[in-house]
Structure 1
Amino acid sequence: MYRSVGLMAWKAVRALAMSMTVVSGVSGCAAVQPASRTAGAALGLDAYYTQSVGWAPCEEGKTGEWFAETLAGVECGQVRAPLDYRNVQPDGSSGAQTVLLAVARRPAAEEKTGTLLAISGGPGQTGLDLIEAAYPPEVLAHFDIVAYDPRGVGRSTPLIQCAGGLDPDLDLNADDTEALEAAERTEVAACVTDTGLDVLRHTGSDEATNDVDLLRAVLGEERINLLAYSYGTQIAAMCALRFPANYRAAILDGVVDIAERPNDMRLGQERGYQATFTRVASFCVGEYRRDGAECPLGTDPAAAEEIFQQLLRDADARPVPVRGGSPVKATDVLDASYTGLLWPSAWKPYLAALQALRHGDGTAVRRLADFQDSEGTNALTAITCTDTAGPDHRSHSQTARRRS
């Protein structure tokens, strides 16, 4: 998937190429003295921090399946990290489990001045595709762009798997609390069975933060630049707090407040989607119609929400057929909306999908609703549980917040 950088983030990313002292999103690092490559590494981690990466063209060998198409010059490799950063022997030679992070690098086109590491959202979203984002020419000229799949996700191993987990037909908006809780217990049990409890315990934001600093060192940088989206901003912020001397600039797009309570975060997120829907409605009846398209939300932005709600009621009363798939219901339309409202570049396809739905074809809505595959859903559930689990005898992970 090709993804554009948000407007404010685009300006901040461009500023990277204009000044070696700029800091956007997180402040305070410009006055910090440069760190060594292994600064912040605990005793016994040197072997991980100083490892070499066998970079090779992404289209070759086992990485040839990582991308449908590969941009010219992009290299792929794997970085080894400890499963549990707290369980490494002083000599670094313990038999502790490890993970392999799938990493892609787009070398600077001209003289290199730094590295920009992209951190994906979710939690549970793959990150390799961020190597293909529309970065400003100045950044592509002077910075290596690096993207990676977080631990447990995508091409990284071991992969979070929960076969036979949450029922895809379960109505998550239903009022049957007992049924929803039972379904979630079944899903968690499936994750434990298929992934392993030891792995699940170490897939949260705590380890993901250490992974970022490990990547910095392996990439040969004393300080690295971070570009983070949504949940990824939580990882970037935690990295800035944990390793303040090891990053130069952090650009945060869709910032997560790491001090915010989960319920407050969820409320704020839903308000954000509501505000975006209002913007999309204005776009639909304005620019979208002027370009000759038919707006599925009517001609008056004030009436757009009622038209949308009626569309949901109609879909529940009479699910809309899909070519080669299950009919679309109201929950599918909402899932498609979470995808379609997220990026301005997705607004036109989203509106076209709603219009097709009104004409009796739910195929495009189904495609948007199913955008996040089951593996991504599994990872979101597992990482969220790891972050928010109570710190009792069964869990030693750092409590964190988050998600989007």
Structure 2
Amino acid sequence: MCLEGKPKLAGALALVAVVLVGGVGCGSADSTRELAEFYTQRIIWGSCSGFAGGDKLGPEVECAKVLVPIDYDKPNGTTGKVAISRLRARGDRVGSIVVNPGGPGASGLDKADTLGKTALGERFDVVGFDLRGSGASTPKIECLTLSETATLRPDDYQTDWSPSGVETVERNNRDYVDKCVERSGTELLGHVGTREVARDLDVIRAVLGEEKLTYLGYSYGARLGSTYAEAFPRNVRAMVLDSGVPLDGPVADLVKFYASLQQAFDTYARDCAENVDCPVEADPSRASHVLQRLLNPLIGQPIPVGTRTLTYSGAVTAIVAALYNPAGWSTITSGLQQLRSGRGDILLDAAETVPGIVDTTVQTAVFCLDDPRTTDRAAAAARQERMFAAAPFLNDGNFKGQAPLDKCAFWPTPPTGTPHTFSVSGLPPMVVVAATGDPAAPYDGNQKLAHQLNSPLITYRGTQHGVFLLSGSTCVDAPVLNYLTELTPPADGLLCQPA
């Protein structure tokens, strides 16, 4: 392993860390010297007001941009800038901790603000960053204009499975990628995968003045952390990987994701059934059926909500997002109760908040580079059939055995990653955190990740995605904070209950 190593990684909804990405190669002495300008640059911290999303950050948060090559194999070529943010430690400073919230494509700048105000910010400068191609980082991946989004972006949950419906979605996917190429160029579209983001992360470590990286990654952030650890094992000080998503290949990953969503929905349904006027039933098979009975009329007759409209896809988007944390379950219940009376305000309001959480344009680009692709319609149909079998609550019953090719099938550059088993020596102890009922990250995948990393696993008995500093569990938070500050890992097998 060496500093110039380039790991290759593999990877629908903001997801998915057991099998990790690729081989690591060593650059020449010449390439090391060529990268020196990036590793030795001096950044200038200042106000975040000129950064996309910066106006939402507290005045004490500082922002800067880090120069990086678009293609690390061509350090003298085109460059970009990665936006970073920092909230300085309140107390006796240990160093900087870099945080990634997941997605890929979730906003990173605000994590300095939100996590910096928790116990984490007592001893650490908390640093957030926007992935290359997203947010305040430049150049930004551009695909559709606002006016084009309505016509070229298919619904997240397809309902027309007729041959013409499949053809329409596939044509829209192809047109979408064509627009990406036209507006972003193939060089950028081919260099926004996790392989490059891990390289950016090491440059960030260097310009922060840290000899070794202290890192916290949630969901996709766990994949990124694992990739970094494989590429730069000697540069890791401490690393917490929370709610990592599986990386067994794109088809297996999607099926596991759908199965995890079904598990979360079943848990919600059992909880809901204990209350009066629950709109679904506690029996999992009945609950899924009752849900679709409520939602299916939206396929032919969406519900007007003022000048807006609640579609089937919008309702499902709202429900899936609400399953990520028990705090959202009341939204599902009240939204479905309202739907029974022919109104869709609650579900539509919830659905419209989801696109702002993750930059789906960047998410698509990362997944298309990190994963092997499905380029055969028969394979796409078989994948879809397995997904519906894993999550009956998402099956509208209209699937006819045909499915469109997705956007990645038309991506203009080849994948930069392939699934493989994580294997690296020289790493310090790391910590893996996982919830048993995580809606997006199967618990057994995190068990495998901890085993492959030879690191302790903290288990949280709960149904949510993201645990450390997000669950209110002192049982989880205290040992992780102690590990980050003192480098003393917790005992393996720690089991924590919800507060």
TM tier, shorter chain?
0.7 to 0.9
The reply on whether 1:250 has 2:239 as its aligned counterpart is yes
Q: Given the alignment, which residue of 313, 316, 327 partners 1:345? A: 327
Q: Given the alignment, which residue of 39, 42, 50 partners 2:32? A: 42
Check 1:85–1:345 CA distance in 2 against 1; reply closer, same or farther (3 A cut).
farther
Kindly provide the amino acid, as one letter, of the partner of residue 177 in structure 2: V
- With the length of structure 1 as denominator, give the TM-score of the two structures: 0.77
Q: Given the alignment, which residue of 336, 339, 349 partners 2:318? A: 336
Q: Given the alignment, which residue of 69, 78, 83 partners 1:97? A: 78
- CA distance in structure 2 between the aligned counterparts of 1:44 and 1:337, rounded to whole angstroms: 49
Is this contact kept in 1: 2:87–2:116, CA < 8 A?
A: no
- CA distance in structure 2 between the aligned counterparts of 1:144 and 1:317, rounded to whole angstroms: 52
Q: Given the alignment, which residue of 61, 66, 87 partners 1:79? A: 66
Check 1:350–1:78 CA distance in 2 against 1; reply closer, same or farther (3 A cut).
farther
Question: Could you list the per-position Cα deviations for residues 142-164 of structure 1 after superposition, in whole angstroms to 9, with x for gaps in the alignment?
Answer: 01111111011111111111123
**Larger displacement relative to structure 2 (185-194 or 159-168):** 159-168
Is this contact kept in 2: 1:161–1:375, CA < 8 A?
A: no
RMSD: 3.0
- CA distance in structure 1 between the aligned counterparts of 2:113 and 2:325, rounded to whole angstroms: 16
Is this contact kept in 2: 1:114–1:224, CA < 8 A?
A: no
2:347 is matched with which residue? 365
The percent identity for this pair of structures is 30
2:218 is matched with which residue? 229
Check 1:395–1:195 CA distance in 2 against 1; reply closer, same or farther (3 A cut).
closer
Q: Given the alignment, which residue of 370, 383, 404 partners 2:366? A: 383
Kindly provide the amino acid, as one letter, of the partner of residue 55 in structure 1: W
1:398 is matched with which residue? 416
Q: Measure how far apart 1:58 and its partner are.
A: 2.7
- With the length of structure 2 as denominator, give the TM-score of the two structures: 0.63
- CA distance in structure 1 between the aligned counterparts of 2:179 and 2:358, rounded to whole angstroms: 13
SS for the counterpart of 2:34 is: coil
**Larger displacement relative to structure 2 (273-282 or 172-181):** 172-181
Superposed counterparts of 1:279-298, under 5 Å: 279-286=267-274, 289=275, 295-297=278-280
Is this contact kept in 2: 1:205–1:400, CA < 8 A?
A: no
- CA distance in structure 2 between the aligned counterparts of 1:256 and 1:300, rounded to whole angstroms: 27
Name structure 2 gaps, 5 residues minimum.
Answer: 1-16, 19-30, 374-411, 421-439, 442-499
SS for the counterpart of 1:57 is: coil
Q: Measure how far apart 1:284 and its partner are.
A: 2.6
Check 1:167–1:73 CA distance in 2 against 1; reply closer, same or farther (3 A cut).
same
Q: Measure how far apart 1:199 and its partner are.
A: 1.1
Name structure 1 gaps, 5 residues minimum.
Answer: 1-24, 27-40, 89-93
- CA distance in structure 2 between the aligned counterparts of 1:401 and 1:135, rounded to whole angstroms: 34
Q: Measure how far apart 1:53 and its partner are.
A: 1.9
Question: Could you list the per-position Cα deviations for residues 103-145 of structure 1 after superposition, in whole angstroms to 9, with x for gaps in the alignment?
Answer: 1111111011132211132223222232343578442210111
Q: Measure how far apart 1:356 and its partner are.
A: 3.0
Question: Could you list the per-position Cα deviations for residues 235-255 of structure 1 after superposition, in whole angstroms to 9, with x for gaps in the alignment?
Answer: 111101000011222222221
SS for the counterpart of 2:361 is: helix
Kindly provide the amino acid, as one letter, of the partner of residue 233 in structure 2: P
Is this contact kept in 1: 2:102–2:217, CA < 8 A?
A: yes
Is this contact kept in 1: 2:57–2:110, CA < 8 A?
A: no
Kindly provide the amino acid, as one letter, of the partner of residue 330 in structure 2: K
SS for the counterpart of 2:210 is: coil
Tell me the number of residue pairs that the alignment of Structure 1 and Structure 2 aligns.
348
SS for the counterpart of 2:315 is: helix
Q: Given the alignment, which residue of 129, 133, 137 partners 1:152? A: 133
2:202 is matched with which residue? 213
1:265 is matched with which residue? 253
1:318 is matched with which residue? 301
Q: Measure how far apart 1:331 and its partner are.
A: 1.8
Question: Could you list the per-position Cα deviations for residues 215-250 of structure 1 after superposition, in whole angstroms to 9, with x for gaps in the alignment?
Answer: 111111112222112222211111010000112222
